[in-house]
């Protein structure tokens, strides 16, 4: 059916998609280009195509190079299952497992490792110079699986290293209106690395057990990362962006481990709102490199401890004074967030310190208002069962005690900030001569004209 | 085309999909399993499959049992049309109707009724014990229609009872990375019942005219319910969750009736943010059973009266003191919500009471800040036309009067809460010795140094 | 395969889809209706169908008329590329361009121009009277391209006029549960015009370089506009709604130009939350015509200057006192938004004025709380390169100075509003006898019992 611009990798005459889907797709792209020689100034000529991957296992031994606009590659299943859990099951129990690997429309990346972060180990490389920027390339509803991690020189088992030099999708050139929807990414050192994006949409994907999940590099604007399930490894970022403006990150459920859940470097006028963020380490959201005029609002931050035995003792190297949210920049807004810091006080580092929730490091004019910090001291427990341990930890609230924290710490390098209703007077450490602070009222708060101490409260039933 | 793991129910040789699509799909699943005998420790073996339902009516007389991962069942149309409106059209007018039933890729559930909430009346049952948990089952873009409701012993017509013992999708076993996208559910007593979910995504569905819409049972974590249109019957929940942590409920438009829009039981560290919620009764959002550290933020709550004649007099049995948002738990955040309470004062129960908007029943440490309550007394009107009545009620704001309400009521069982800017001093009923309260300033509010009464305001044009 | 209710336009025997896809689709719809003569009171009869457009260029010379429910029209590519940038590239450079036109599954609208806003120039017209309302029509993942704009009588080049009398999809009749997902719209004077919508979903589309993008007309309820990339022309609206209740607009990234990003007329009990909004002119969000009880929360507003040479000097005719957010209505909530006003002070109009951010014009009872306004004076620069100019402007924050603004202006026609923490005392212009105002504390703010001036701040490392 190539005449209709619809291609099925299992019926294409060149190559064997089970053995090397890269060869098959490159051959299809060559065919599309052969048939798109027309350049029509009146109305058309190069509509692109769709390439379909039915459910199945497809080894990729040749990198796919995409240099045409309007190409959609789609499957019928994001195919996630946890490889991390399985690799930590004793091997003599594998015979009893229902299945061993991810599935769906699954591309197995069988490339030699590239250098971390470069394009050589990428399953899909999108690169085209010249004008216009390559546009409307779409990836939809299939799985990219890096298969194995490799030793990183530490004591960790190889499959827990989050290192393998493989990338799922690497966009090297300036691009416009790309879409990544409904995909699954697993066991890749980098799931998605995209340079110079304009109006990019990364929506409703499942990106987990990858070293880093989403990296927006170079510069870019007006993009969105929405409604994804994301969780990076302990060395990487769930979401990283540099020099982006107008980026919207919302409605994501970002789970551990992730050295950072979201890390901005030089990002301006962007939003991180309405996400659920969970981490085992400090430094969950970092606004670095003069990231300014961003809105961090109505997110749920939870930082608790690692509950799964294979990763006990692993962390991102930051102590509890680093801040769950750390800001180096100007005029950012931090409004209406909930922070839960749920720690075993015995494990706080430096020992005996009061952990910091929001830390303003450099800059001026930030507005931190109406944030609610909950800090609890709970006895850390762990388990060999990943799911049970996580759920158990998540649901533990009952017998916990309060934990002393600094809700907002303003360093001398950051000034003229406004801190409102984000911690009581003792919890906000800031020079009141350099910053405007209104502490959250405590029970003894009694403004004139509103004193009602001793009031008898009638409770209707 | 079974060799490519793509199945079309209309071309499968076993069974007749119009007569019993359950038999057809079970036969296809058996075929998939027959072909997945390989267990390959190196890289693969069980990729799953996709089963396609073209638009059409498919009776389901045999329950589908799914016990393999990576199965995607997809159609080409969610097919919703209102059966509730049609069943309330006089029967002698049916001949003039363009169509009588839902459509799209439509599965008609012809099973005998199960007991409410169990799996026997479920069209699709997902159940598999052992390890790993069943993963990445996906349902996409088809319709599950329960066809009729049955008498419930009350005076209501059978088709208005929301009872029939049928369930659309019932997941009995622990599961991972499931996706429910673009589906339609209608006239089922339970649309979706999912136990023990991890990283579940319920996104962009249309779930309406069902007894209960989404129920997450047992326990679970790190899931999302996003961007759905949802509306349960007067006996059930639009969304119910128990013992979940890290659940993200956002960007949903939840309309009446629903005994509750969202009901949490023992849910922790989860988010209900940025939803539009509309109900005809109190108890719109309930955090019960020690639900703690949740964020309820920037939602729009509207409670008004039932405008459609067939349901006049039906309600959920709660009076106006129950609270639109009711909290039994600790350390929750209620920030930046808008509440509209639009009632006919003559209908308030108990007669003459001031309705309660936020009610803290048990627990401690909740933070209720920056919520705006609008309360209006409007003359209730109703109509035989469902759509016209609802729109008319929604747009009625003009000639209304204020209605006295309690914006926040803190019972003696809940203490050490912080209530800021969520009602004036008279509207917040709380023991000020046990809770920190800052009332929303009223016009006479004149803090020192900010008095500008009498200021002449120059209005630029 | 018509027997299975699946149609492919490239294999349908009537008409030529490349020459006139309108004729082909109308012929398919006639076939569907011929086959749907059954009216079955028991359970079914008219399931609808799906019509598939593979990637390709399809001229539309006959308007498609849809008058059946449960019709899904789907393609395999939204196909956006910027026509606006290309039309502003000198023609002698076109030969060096990779492609000249949008692509994907692309419908090229070759109709004679209609009157602006009417249905005559619409590619797809949905119209059916009688009962029930037409339901569950779905458009998915294809491109509708209006191809050219035409002269508008001004000095602007024709292709920059945003005028051509063409509409993408026009829904004339009351409708229920429609879905518009994953579509691309480009170079249409009106992309989507939908009357009388109930439970409509407009989700995850790319709607840009159109005169107006989304218009909800007549009246309607309980709909959602979510997770779209949207940007209208300088004459139109990115989103317009009139007489809607319960509308949810969230998670959209709305970029320039757009005379307004969002314009409500008589809209009630609706939400504009969590969007990223960027404009080059005042009047970004307008609540007009007694729009009441709406929630505008946690949005990021950025207004800066036009950076692209071809549109220098073009604006929407409003001066800087108009307000970025302008409210005529009652009881609205404006909570937790970030506003960045980044202007070249030399270009402010009227000269020397303090630009207005939030302006309450008429009504009462609005609640404006916890909004953060950042105002900067930067030297405006422009460039021939659209992308580079925009990114450059977006990332410019460093050397800027503050700009004096009025953060909230309350006119005498609006009273009994509450303005909290949304500007310091000098920035909020309001009659304190008629409105409750609590200014954002400034550094000298020293409430009793909280004075800590002179405190030594110890910064943990």
What pLDDT does C18 receive? 96
pLDDT greater at residue C455 or residue A426: A426
* Alpha carbon distance C392, C23 (integer Å): 46
Beta bridge partners of B50: B6, B72
Place of tokens 């009047």: C283
User: C364 at the B interface (CB within 8 A)?
Assistant: no
- What would the two tokens of residue A438 be? 């209104």
**C130 to chain B: which residues are within 8 Å by CB?**
96-98
**A372 to chain B: which residues are within 8 Å by CB?**
333, 335, 367, 369, 418
pLDDT-based confidence at A456, cuts 50/70/90?
A: very low
Architecture of domain B1-236: 3 Solenoid (2.160)
pLDDT greater at residue B387 or residue A95: A95
Reference B241, options B275, B269, B280; nearest CA is: B269
* Alpha carbon distance C141, C106 (integer Å): 10
Mean pLDDT calculated for residue range A395-414: 85
Search chain C and give the residue with CA nearest B396: C268
Strands (DSSP E) found in A212-337: 212-221, 224-226, 229-232, 237-242, 244-245, 248-250, 253-254, 260-265, 271-273, 276-279, 285-288, 295-297, 300-303, 325-328, 333-335
Q: Point out the residue among A8, A253, A337 whose CB comes nearest to the CB of B246.
A: A253
Reference B244, options B276, B226, B218, B279; nearest CA is: B218
User: C336 at the B interface (CB within 8 A)?
Assistant: yes
Chain segment B160-172, per-residue pLDDT in tens = 999 999 999 999 9
**Percent of all residues in chain B with a pLDDT value above 90, rounded to a whole number:** 86
Residue ranges per structural domain of chain A: 1-236, 256-461
Contact C202, C178 (CB under 8 A): no
pLDDT greater at residue B56 or residue B399: B56
- What would the two tokens of residue A114 be? 């590239």
**C362 to chain B: which residues are within 8 Å by CB?**
none
- What would the two tokens of residue B381 be? 């009107």
Cβ atoms within 10 Å, residue A13: 8
| Chain centre to alpha carbon of residue A221 | 18
Q: Is A259 helix (H, G, I), strand (E, B) or coil?
A: coil
Task: Quote the minimal CA–CA distance from A42 to chain B in Å.
Answer: 34
Q: Is C39 helix (H, G, I), strand (E, B) or coil?
A: coil
What pLDDT does C444 receive? 58
* Alpha carbon distance B174, B172 (integer Å): 7
Beta bridge partners of A143: A106, A184
Q: Is the pLDDT of residue B158 over 70?
A: yes
- What would the two tokens of residue A456 be? 């008898």
CB contact under 8 A, A431 and C455: yes
Contact A223, A248 (CB under 8 A): yes
User: A425 at the C interface (CB within 8 A)?
Assistant: yes
What pLDDT does B460 receive? 42
Search chain B and give the residue with CA nearest C7: B54
Return per-residue pLDDT of chain C as tens, 461 residues. 345 899 999 999 999 999 999 999 999 999 999 998 766 777 778 999 999 999 999 999 999 999 999 999 999 999 999 999 999 999 999 999 999 999 999 999 999 988 877 899 999 999 999 999 999 999 999 999 999 999 999 999 999 999 999 999 999 999 999 999 999 999 999 999 999 999 999 999 999 999 999 999 999 999 999 999 999 999 999 999 999 999 999 999 999 999 999 999 999 999 999 999 999 999 999 999 999 999 999 999 999 999 999 999 999 999 999 999 999 999 999 999 999 999 999 999 999 999 999 999 999 999 999 999 999 999 888 888 888 878 888 887 654 578 999 999 999 999 999 999 999 999 999 999 999 999 999 985 444 333 333 333 343 43
Search chain C and give the residue with CA nearest B99: C46
* Alpha carbon distance A134, C81 (integer Å): 8
What pLDDT does B18 receive? 96
Backbone angles phi, psi at A239, to 5 degrees: -135, 130
* Alpha carbon distance A194, A133 (integer Å): 13
Task: Quote the minimal CA–CA distance from B305 to chain C in Å.
Answer: 14
What pLDDT does B398 receive? 54
User: A134 at the C interface (CB within 8 A)?
Assistant: yes
CB contact under 8 A, A45 and C451: no
User: A357 at the C interface (CB within 8 A)?
Assistant: no
Cβ atoms within 10 Å, residue B38: 9
Q: Is the pLDDT of residue A343 over 90?
A: yes
CB contact under 8 A, A229 and B227: no
pLDDT-based confidence at B456, cuts 50/70/90?
A: very low
Complex confidence, ipTM: 0.95
CB contact under 8 A, C356 and B397: no
CB contact under 8 A, A372 and B290: no
* Alpha carbon distance A417, C313 (integer Å): 36
Contact B258, B329 (CB under 8 A): no
* Inter-chain CB pairs, B–C, below 8 Å: 293
- DSSP state letters, A286-304: EEESS-BS-EEES-EEEE-
| Chain centre to alpha carbon of residue C15 | 35
CB contact under 8 A, B78 and C138: yes
Backbone angles phi, psi at B2, to 5 degrees: -60, -25
Chain segment B65-109, per-residue pLDDT in tens = 999 999 999 999 999 999 999 999 999 999 999 999 999 999 999
In A104-133, the residues whose Cβ lies within 8 Å of chain B are: 104-106, 108
CB contact under 8 A, A44 and C454: no
Q: Point out the residue among B86, B394, B459 whose CB comes nearest to the CB of C268.
A: B394
In C305-334, the residues whose Cβ lies within 8 Å of chain A are: none
**Percent of all residues in chain A with a pLDDT value above 90, rounded to a whole number:** 86
* Alpha carbon distance C95, B250 (integer Å): 47
User: C401 at the A interface (CB within 8 A)?
Assistant: no
C386 DSSP 8-state letter: H
What pLDDT does C387 receive? 80
CA A10-B132-A204 angle, 5° bins: 60
What pLDDT does C47 receive? 92
- DSSP state letters, B261-297: EEEEES-BS-EEES-EEEESSS-SEEEESS-BS-EEE
Cβ-proximal residues to C30 (8 Å cutoff; 6+ apart), any chain: none
**B243 to chain A: which residues are within 8 Å by CB?**
391, 395
User: C3 at the A interface (CB within 8 A)?
Assistant: no
Interface test with A, best of B2, B271, B322, B416 (most A CBs within 10 A): B271
CB contact under 8 A, C47 and B227: no
Could you give the dihedral angle defined by the CA atoms of residues A411, A414, A416 and A417, in that order, rounded to the nearest 10 degrees?
Answer: -70
Q: Is the pLDDT of residue A141 over 90?
A: yes
- What would the two tokens of residue A368 be? 């931190």
* Alpha carbon distance A309, A81 (integer Å): 20
CB contact under 8 A, A81 and B330: no
- What would the two tokens of residue A384 be? 């060999």
A32 DSSP 8-state letter: H
**C256-461: CATH topology:** Pectate Lyase C-like (2.160.20)
Cβ-proximal residues to B395 (8 Å cutoff; 6+ apart), any chain: C219, C243, C245, C266, C268
Chain segment A85-105, per-residue pLDDT in tens = 999 999 999 999 999 999 999
Task: Quote the minimal CA–CA distance from C461 to chain A in Å.
Answer: 7
Reference C355, options C321, C310, C389; nearest CA is: C321
Mean pLDDT calculated for residue range A109-123: 89
Strands (DSSP E) found in A317-371: 325-328, 333-335, 338-343, 356-364, 367-369
Chains that touch A (3 or more CB pairs under 8 A): B, C
A256-461 and A1-236 share a CATH fold: yes
Q: Point out the residue among C48, C418, C433 whose CB comes nearest to the CB of B77.
A: C48
Interface test with A, best of B173, B250, B298 (most A CBs within 10 A): B250
Reference A200, options C204, C405, B278, B186; nearest CA is: C204
Beta bridge partners of C220: C197, C244
Mean pLDDT calculated for residue range A432-442: 96
> Does the N-terminal peptide bond of residue B380 adopt cis geometry, omega within 30 degrees of 0?
no
Search chain C and give the residue with CA nearest B251: C250
Rounded to two decimals, the pTM is 0.96
In C223-262, the residues whose Cβ lies within 8 Å of chain A are: 227, 229, 251, 253, 255
Task: Quote the minimal CA–CA distance from C109 to chain A in Å.
Answer: 10
Chain segment B296-326, per-residue pLDDT in tens = 999 999 999 999 999 999 999 999 999 999 9
pLDDT-based confidence at B441, cuts 50/70/90?
A: very high
Length of chain C: 461
- DSSP state letters, C81-147: --HHHHHTS-GGGGGGSS-SS--SEEEEE-PPP--TTSSTTEEEEE---SSSPEE--EEES-EEE--
Contact B244, B202 (CB under 8 A): no
What pLDDT does C125 receive? 98
What pLDDT does A385 receive? 82
Chain segment C393-447, per-residue pLDDT in tens = 888 765 457 899 999 999 999 999 999 999 999 999 999 999 999 999 998 544 4
Contact C140, C74 (CB under 8 A): yes
* Alpha carbon distance A399, C17 (integer Å): 68
């Amino acid at each position: 059916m190539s005449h209709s611009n619809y291609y099925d990798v299992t019926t294409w005459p060149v190559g064997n998609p089970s053995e090397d889907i890269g060869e098959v797709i490159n051959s299809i792209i060559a065919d599309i280009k052969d048939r798109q020689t027309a350049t029509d100034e009146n109305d058309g000529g190069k509509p692109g195509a769709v390439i379909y991957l039915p459910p199945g296992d497809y080894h990729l031994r040749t990198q796919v190079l995409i240099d045409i606009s309007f190409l959609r590659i789609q499957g019928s299943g994001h195919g996630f299952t946890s490889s991390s859990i399985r690799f930590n099951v004793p091997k003599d129990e594998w015979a009893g497992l229902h299945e061993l690997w991810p599935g769906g429309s699954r591309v197995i990346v069988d490339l030699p490792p590239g250098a971390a972060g470069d394009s050589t180990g990428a399953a899909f490389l999108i690169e085209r110079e010249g004008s216009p920027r390559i546009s409307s390339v779409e990836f939809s509803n299939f799985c990219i699986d890096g298969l194995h991690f490799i030793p990183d020189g530490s004591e960790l088992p190889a499959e827990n290293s989050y290192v393998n030099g493989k990338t799922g999708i690497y966009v090297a050139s300036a691009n416009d209106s790309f879409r990544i929807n409904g995909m699954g990414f697993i066991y890749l050192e980098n799931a998605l690395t995209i340079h110079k994006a304009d109006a990019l949409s990364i929506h409703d994907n499942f990106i987990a057990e990858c070293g880093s999940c989403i990296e927006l590099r170079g510069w870019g604007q007006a993009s969105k990362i929405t409604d994804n399930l994301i969780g990076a490894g302990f060395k990487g970022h769930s979401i990283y962006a540099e020099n982006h403006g107008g980026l919207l990150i919302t409605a994501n459920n970002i789970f551990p481990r992730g050295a950072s859940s979201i890390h901005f470097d030089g990002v301006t006028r962007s939003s991180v709102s309405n996400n659920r963020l969970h981490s085992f380490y400090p430094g969950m959201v970092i606004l670095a490199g003069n990231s300014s005029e961003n809105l961090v609002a109505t997110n749920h931050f939870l930082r608790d401890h690692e509950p799964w035995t294979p990763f006990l003792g692993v962390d991102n190297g930051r102590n509890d004074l680093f801040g769950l949210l750390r800001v180096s920049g100007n005029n950012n807004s931090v409004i209406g967030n909930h922070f839960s810091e749920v720690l075993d006080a015995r494990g706080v580092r430096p020992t005996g310190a009061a952990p910091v929730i929001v830390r303003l490091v450099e800059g001026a004019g930030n507005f931190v208002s109406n944030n609610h910090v909950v800090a609890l001291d709970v006895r850390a427990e762990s388990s060999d069962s990943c799911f049970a341990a996580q759920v158990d930890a998540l649901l533990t609230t009952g017998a916990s005690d309060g934990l002393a924290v600094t809700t907002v710490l303003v360093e001398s390098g950051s000034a003229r900030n406004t801190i409102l209703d984000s911690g009581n007077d003792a919890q906000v450490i800031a020079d009141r001569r350099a910053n405007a602070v209104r502490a959250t009222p405590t029970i003894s708060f009694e403004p004139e004209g509103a004193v009602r101490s001793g009031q008898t409260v009638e409770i209707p039933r």
